[in-house]
Amino acid sequence: MGYPHTPHPRETPVLSQHFGEMEATTLDGWRTRGGYAALQRALGMAPAEIVTVVKDSGLRGRGGAGFPTGVKWSFMKPGDGKPHYLCCNADESEPGTFKDREIMRWTPHALVEGCAIGAYAIGAETAYIYIRGEFTEPIARMEAAIEEAYAAGILGKNAMGSGKTVNVWVHRGAGAYICGEETALMNSLEGRRGNPRIKPPFPAVAGVFGQPTTINNVETLAAVPQILNNGAEWYKKFSRSDNPKSTGTKLYSVCGNIARPGNYEVAMGFPFKDFLYDVCGGPLPGRKFRAIIPGGISVPIQTVAEAEASLMDYEGFVAQGTMLGSGGVIVVDDAQNLVKFIARAARFFAHESCAQCTQCREGTAWTTKILERIAAGDGTSEDLDTLLEIADNMTGKTICVLSDSCATPVVSGLKKFRGDFEALIKKKTHVLVPAFA
Amino acid sequence: MGGVEAPADTSHHGHGGPYQPVFVGARRQELDELLARYPSKMAALLPALWMVQHDRGWVSDEAMAEVATLLELTPAYVKGVVTFYTMYHQHPVGRYFVQVCTTSPCQVCGAEEVVDAFLRHTGCQELGVTSPDDRFTVIEVECLGACGFATPVMINEDFIESVTPEGVPELLARYK
């Protein structure tokens, strides 16, 4: 946290090593830090060779799903005669997550370079970086970096003198969490309402503008130049020895009731307990941690015991009943009303539902109403069963997973912190009097 | 599709009189350059609406009709898109549009008190209602994506981190 950025000694700054250095945001500054060497090399390689290196590195999607990046790229069939597109998902809106924002603010050229390499590797001449509309500063930094890159001949019709065309453009969103869902992002980019699409067809077959498309997260693409510079084996070295499935480093955004909120980068498999208490400074004075969400508000809530037993990688969090997700760590302490916290999360999803699926439109709204009623002291014991029934109807039954994401904190909250709900119901202040005794 | 005449501006905002098109001169050129980035005209819709809002402060029906004509869409289609996204104003707002994040991570850090402070110090009676002097409109916004710097606030295009209730008067003094 804080800038100029002084990493904690236990961090492994790979993506974040130049955070806080104003000079690194400029082309000259980026070049003196080794920038665009990877793109230069990539443009001399066959696209398939780049895909192989990324595949070998074990890099997985950092937006939440964790899909292997090289495998995703290999779905794009070269020589099919169709225009291909790369979309960079910079619609970072998952509550608790603010890591892509820092990448774009401090190392915009890392993302331009990653996009250019990715586009070339999948046979695309154009990459669009879809940035959420509220990120005015990251948008300005990215646009400035892209302008510099065009002026220097890095982007354009003859990228770095290779004879190949690589275009990178910023596309500004306009306020919609759902546009972080990849098919909604493509609709929004096309100038439509951001409603998710039914899959199949998958984006690699028919994506944006009906053409083969790959969508990658900012953090994923920003890691690509480093992998090409240092090699797949170097990237794999960061994983823990007993789990080769999660490789490299991960940026975590830390927020809520904790001593040192901010962005931290650690190697895959780092102990979550050490991360929370040592790297991030533990609870606020006089407080205790109560509940922890490690991967953005869409992943299951952990108890403190579960969190302390977790290892920070894709498999490590699953083993403790949750998911790595986007790496947005939200900490709630014992001074907070956990039901109110979950009710506010539900309100977020109700507000952000695109409303095309009934289960989501109705489910998010009713979940919010019931939770707010309980939080206000007006709940009944039947409300808890109703919440679970609604959550069941919201899970696995809609076009995208926004509905499931709303159900997750409710179900995991009720499972692990049922006492918090029941205490509010017992305390209830208003009683319905039956008309006939 | 196409050829829809932009009707006269009937809003009470601005100077009245006939609607003045946004996309003339440099703005028109900017839009034409933008169109070269996409394989369809429709893809320039969100950027075109941003230009409208930047120049006019909000997106009126007349402006939607103008954009529709330029991009070969119908005004109804454009309105459908405008209403989907929360950042396009469909009505005039105060000179300074204040958005305070109150989603869960900020809520547990005291965002509600920040909202109260903004309402108190701007003279806005309630959320979404512009202050009597036309200076401010305050709304709660869903996750601004800066949760570690609670409470983040946007005032027009300015993004301000770590706002506290005590810091609100000094912050507002910068917006005359």
Q: Which residues pair with B160 in a beta bridge?
A: B153
Q: Do A194 and B146 touch (CB under 8 A)?
A: no
The answer, for A217 touching chain B at a CB cutoff of 8 Å, is no
The answer, for B58 touching chain A at a CB cutoff of 8 Å, is no
> What pLDDT band is residue B2 in, cutting at 50, 70 and 90?
very low
Q: Do A167 and B37 touch (CB under 8 A)?
A: yes
Please state whether the peptide bond connecting residue A4 to the residue before it is cis, i.e. omega within 30 degrees of 0: yes
pLDDT < 50 stretches in chain A: 1, 437
Considering only CB atoms, A190 lies closest to which of B40, B141, B147, namely: B40
- Helix, strand, coil tally for chain B in percent (to 5): 40, 10, 50
The answer, for B157 touching chain A at a CB cutoff of 8 Å, is yes
Cα–Cα distance between A105 and A157 in angstroms, integer?
27
Give chain B's largest Cα–Cα span.
54
DSSP designation for A71: H
Q: Do A191 and B42 touch (CB under 8 A)?
A: yes
Q: What's the confidence (pLDDT) of residue B26?
A: 97
Residue of B nearest to A263 (CA): B148
**Nearest CA among A126, A143, A37 for reference residue A86:** A126
End-to-end CA gap in chain B: 43
Listing DSSP states for A226-244 in one string gives: HHHHH-HHHHHTTS-TT-T
- Cα–Cα distance list, A159 to A35, A142, A168 (Å): 15, 18, 11
Q: Which residues pair with B148 in a beta bridge?
A: none
What pLDDT, in 10s, does the model give residues A136-174?
999 999 999 999 999 999 999 999 999 999 999 999 999
Nearest Cα of chain A lies from the Cα of B35 at a distance, in angstroms, of 12
Cα–Cα distance between A365 and A105 in angstroms, integer?
35
Chain B residues near residue A328 by CB distance under 8 angstroms:
147
The answer, for B50 touching chain A at a CB cutoff of 8 Å, is yes
Spatial strand order in the sheet of A249-256:
A262-267, A249-256, A328-333, A289-293, A302-303
User: Does B150 have pLDDT greater than 60?
Assistant: yes
Chain position carrying tokens 């409603």: A195
B79 by DSSP, 3-state: which? helix
Which domains are delineated in chain B? 1-90 (1.10.10.1590), 96-173 (3.40.30.10)
Taking phi over 0 as left and psi of -120 to 50 as alpha, with beta for the rest, A123 belongs to: left
Chain A residues near residue B104 by CB distance under 8 angstroms:
95, 297, 330, 341-342, 344-345, 348
Nearest Cα of chain A lies from the Cα of B76 at a distance, in angstroms, of 12
Note whether A128 and A146 are within 8 A (CB): no
For chain A, positions 104-123, list CB contacts with chain B under 8 A: none
DSSP designation for B127: T
**Whether the predicted model's global pTM rises above the 0.90 cut:** yes
Nearest Cα of chain A lies from the Cα of B142 at a distance, in angstroms, of 6
Note whether A129 and A91 are within 8 A (CB): no
Give, for A42, the enclosing helix (H) or strand (E): helix A37-43
Note whether A219 and A248 are within 8 A (CB): no
User: Does B11 have pLDDT greater than 80?
Assistant: no
**Nearest CA among A247, A280, A249 for reference residue A263:** A280
Which domains are delineated in chain A? 22-236 (3.40.50.11540), 249-333 (3.10.20.600), 338-426 (1.20.1440.230)
Q: Do A177 and B39 touch (CB under 8 A)?
A: no
Nearest Cα of chain B lies from the Cα of A387 at a distance, in angstroms, of 19
Q: Which residues pair with A216 in a beta bridge?
A: A88
Cα–Cα distance between A149 and A292 in angstroms, integer?
41
> What is the total residue count of chain A?
437
> What pLDDT band is residue B125 in, cutting at 50, 70 and 90?
confident
**Nearest CA among A431, A202, A408 for reference residue A302:** A408
Q: What's the confidence (pLDDT) of residue A268?
A: 97
The answer, for B147 touching chain A at a CB cutoff of 8 Å, is yes
The answer, for B52 touching chain A at a CB cutoff of 8 Å, is no
Q: What's the confidence (pLDDT) of residue A195?
A: 98
> What is the total residue count of chain B?
176
- Cα–Cα distance list, A425 to A373, A377, A417 (Å): 10, 6, 13
CB-based burial label for A360 (10 Å; 0-12, 13-18, 19+): buried
Considering only CB atoms, A98 lies closest to which of B71, B80, B145, namely: B145
Mean pLDDT to the nearest integer, B69-98? 97
Considering only CB atoms, B148 lies closest to which of A135, A253, A341, namely: A253
Preferred mutation among A103, A189, A213, A255 to probe B, highest tally of B CBs within 10 A: A255
Cα–Cα distance between B159 and A40 in angstroms, integer?
35
Mean pLDDT to the nearest integer, B34-54? 98
Residue of A nearest to B86 (CA): A175
Considering only CB atoms, A98 lies closest to which of B73, B99, B146, namely: B146
Residue of B nearest to A356 (CA): B84
B173 vs A432, more confident:
B173
What pLDDT, in 10s, does the model give residues A28-47?
999 999 999 999 999 999 99
Inter-helix orientation angle A418-426/A358-375, to 10°: 60
User: Does B155 have pLDDT greater than 60?
Assistant: yes
Considering only CB atoms, B148 lies closest to which of A83, A98, A137, namely: A98
The answer, for B105 touching chain A at a CB cutoff of 8 Å, is yes
CB-based burial label for B167 (10 Å; 0-12, 13-18, 19+): middle
Q: Which residues contact A318 (CB under 8 A, 6 or more apart)?
A: none
Considering only CB atoms, B157 lies closest to which of A136, A261, A336, namely: A136
